[in-house]
Structure 1
Amino acid sequence: MGGEEGEMGVIRYGIVGVGMMGREHMVNISHIPAGKAMVAAVADPHPPSLHAALDLADSFGWPLKVFSGHKGLLDSGLCDVVVVSSPNMTHFGILMDVFRHPRPHHVLVEKPLCTTVDHCKQVMAAAEGRPEIVVHVGLEYRFMPPVAKLLEIAASRELGSIKMVAIREHRFPFLVKVPTQSGSWPRAPLASTTRTKSTTARQVPDIIDNAFVIVEFENGVRGMLDLCMFAEGSKNEQEISVVGDTGKGEALVPEGIVRMGTRQGGRNCVQTMKPTDDRIRYEGLHHGSSYLEHLAFLAAVKAAAGGGAVPTVDLRAGLLSVAVGVAGQLSIELGRFVSIEEVLE
Structure 2
Amino acid sequence: MVAAIRYGVVGTGMMGVEHLRNLMILPGAEIVAIADPVAASLDWARAALGDRAAGVRAFDDVASFATAADVDAIVIAAPNHTHRDVVARLLDRDVAILCEKPLATTIADARWMVDQARDRARPFWTAMEYRFMPPAAEFIAQVHAGKVGQLRMLSIREHRFPFLPKVGDWNRFARNTGGTMVEKCCHFFDLMRLIVRSEPVRVFCSGGRDVNHLDERYEGRAPDILDNSYTVVDFANGVRAMLDLCMFAEGAEHQEEMSATGDRARLDVLIPPGDLVFSPRVDWRGPKAVERWHVPVDEAAMAAGSHHGATFYQHQAFAAAIRGEGPVQVTAEDGLRAVAMGAAAELSAREHRVVAMAELGL
The TM-score, its normalising length taken from structure 2, stands at 0.86
The match for 2:239 among 211, 221, 226 is: 221
SS of the residue aligned with 2:290?
A: strand
User: Could you say if the C-alpha distance between residues 330 and 146 of structure 1 is closer, same or farther in structure 2, counting changes exceeding 3 Å?
Assistant: same
Aligned-pair identity in percent equals: 35
1:196 Cα deviation from its structure 2 partner? 3.1
Matched residue count? 329
1:168 matched to 2:157 = yes
- 2:330 aligned residue: 313
Tell me: CA distance 1:261–1:62, structure 2 relative to 1, closer, same or farther (3 Å). Answer: farther
Residue-by-residue CA offset, 1:53-99 (whole Å, 9 max, x unaligned): 12322334651111111221121141111101010001111122222
Distance 2:62 2:24 in 1: 22
Q: What do you get for the CA RMSD once the two structures are aligned?
A: 2.1
Instruction: Name the residue aligned to 2:146.
Output: 157
Map 1:236-315 → 2, pairs under 5 A: 236-263=254-281, 268-277=288-297, 281-283=301-303, 284-303=305-324, 310-315=327-332
Return the letter of the residue paired with 1:334: E
Q: Is 2:96 the counterpart of 1:110?
A: no
2:201 is equivalent to residue 187 of structure 1 = yes
Q: Which residue of 1 aligns with 2:179?
A: none
| Distance 1:61-1:219 versus aligned 2 partners, 3 A rule | same
Over 3 Å counting, the alpha-carbon distance change for 1:296 and 1:279 in structure 2 is farther
Q: Give the unaligned 5+ runs of structure 1.
A: 1-7
1:206 maps to 224
CA distance in 2, matches of 1:119, 1:197: 31
Q: Which residue of 2 aligns with 1:128?
A: 118
Distance in 2, matches of 1:71 and 1:252, equals 43
Q: Is the 8 A contact 1:192 1:212 kept in 2?
A: yes
Q: Which letter does structure 2 place at the counterpart of 1:23?
A: V
Give the SS at the match of 1:300. Answer: helix
Which structure is higher in RCO with an 8 Å CA cutoff and minimum separation 6? Answer: 2
Structure 1 residue 334 and structure 2 residue 351: aligned? yes
Any idea what SS the aligned residue of 2:281 has? Answer: strand
Distance 2:167 2:53 in 1: 27
Counterpart for residue 43 of structure 1: 35
The answer to whether structure 1 residue 232 and structure 2 residue 250 are counterparts is: yes
Return the alpha-carbon distance in structure 2 between the equivalents of residues 327 and 147 of structure 1. Answer: 25
Determine which of 163, 166, 170 is the counterpart of 1:177: 166
> Within 2, Cα distance between the matches of 1:166 and 1:109?
27
